[in-house]
Amino acid sequence: MTEPSPATLDPTALRELLDSGKNVRVVDVRTPGEFESVHIPGAYNVPLDLLREHRDEFLAHLDENVVLVCRSGQRATQAEETLRTAGLFNVHILEGGMMGWEAKGFTVNRGTERWDLERQVRLVAGSIVLTSVLGSIAVPKLKWLAAGVGGGLSFAALSNTCAMGMVLSKLPYNRGASCDPQTIVAQLVDSKTATAERN
């Protein structure tokens, strides 16, 4: 068993790795909608929920150095834990995520602009709290809905998970045509074949 490599990689180091032509696979664990909005050229979209559900299928095709990307690093950290638990140690997290990559001014592919998942969670949670507080004027028990959302957000911060985010990620707005495991595995296999042919 090999020793685990450093868990983070800053955007400049990733840019240098990509430019060097070394075998590195950039895996973006955001929702397909977020990925379609903006992503690093050459990245593969493997949403966090699919990575967890089909981990073993993906592991068979992730033998290069893997750099995990999300918006800011939280989901990439969860994906890294999933892969390391399964025995894959050549995994890094892009420090600062897409926000860090874009802040450096590095090239991105842009598509239709969509709200990222974290922003959607803030909108939904805030709307529920505001509506239930205002509604509690007429129906006092609605204040407990606001308390429940607050408790859920506190639990999400302490456990580094987000049930609301997981639910929102399954909405059609956040899904794309390419978010089924068979399509993703086929893309990974095709790229591995192309790399082998070049070498």
pLDDT score for 1 = 40
pLDDT score for 23 = 83
Does residue 100 share a domain with residue 24?
yes
160 pLDDT higher than 80: no
Does residue 145 share a domain with residue 110?
no
Does residue 131 share a domain with residue 194?
no
Q: Please count the structural domains in the chain.
A: 2
Does residue 141 share a domain with residue 52?
no
Does residue 145 share a domain with residue 47?
no
Best CA proximity match to 117, nearest among 127, 125, 106, 109: 125
Query: By percentage, how much of the chain surpasses pLDDT 90?
Result: 42
88-124: pLDDT as tens digits: 888 999 999 999 999 999 999 998 888 888 888 999 9
Q: Which domain holds residue 110?
A: 8-114+179-198
Asked if residue 1 belongs to a domain, the reply is no
Asked if residue 167 belongs to a domain, the reply is no
> Mean pLDDT, to the nearest integer, of 135-157?
91
- In angstroms, the first-to-last Cα distance of the chain is 26
| Per-chain mean pLDDT for the chain | 84
Asked if residue 71 belongs to a domain, the reply is yes
pLDDT score for 179 = 65
pLDDT score for 192 = 54
Does residue 100 share a domain with residue 14?
yes
pLDDT score for 172 = 80
Least confident of 71-75, 99-103, 161-165, 182-186: 182-186
CB-CB neighbours of 105 under 10 Å: 8
Does residue 82 share a domain with residue 40?
yes
2 pLDDT higher than 50: no
Q: Rounded distance, CA 135 to CA 36, Å? A: 37
Does residue 100 share a domain with residue 23?
yes
DSSP the chain: -PPPPPSEE-HHHHHHHHHHT--EEEEE-S-HHHHHHEE-TT-EE--HHHHHHTHHHHHTT--SEEEEE-SSSHHHHHHHHHHHHTT---EEEETTHHHHHHHTT---EE-S----HHHHHHHHHHHHHHHHHHHTTTSGGGHHHHHHHHHHHHHHHHHT--HHHHHHHTSGGG--TT-SHHHHHHHHHHHHHHHHHH-
Asked if residue 169 belongs to a domain, the reply is no
Does residue 137 share a domain with residue 55?
no
Does residue 97 share a domain with residue 36?
yes
Does residue 77 share a domain with residue 151?
no
Least confident of 56-60, 85-89, 118-122: 56-60
Does residue 122 share a domain with residue 110?
no
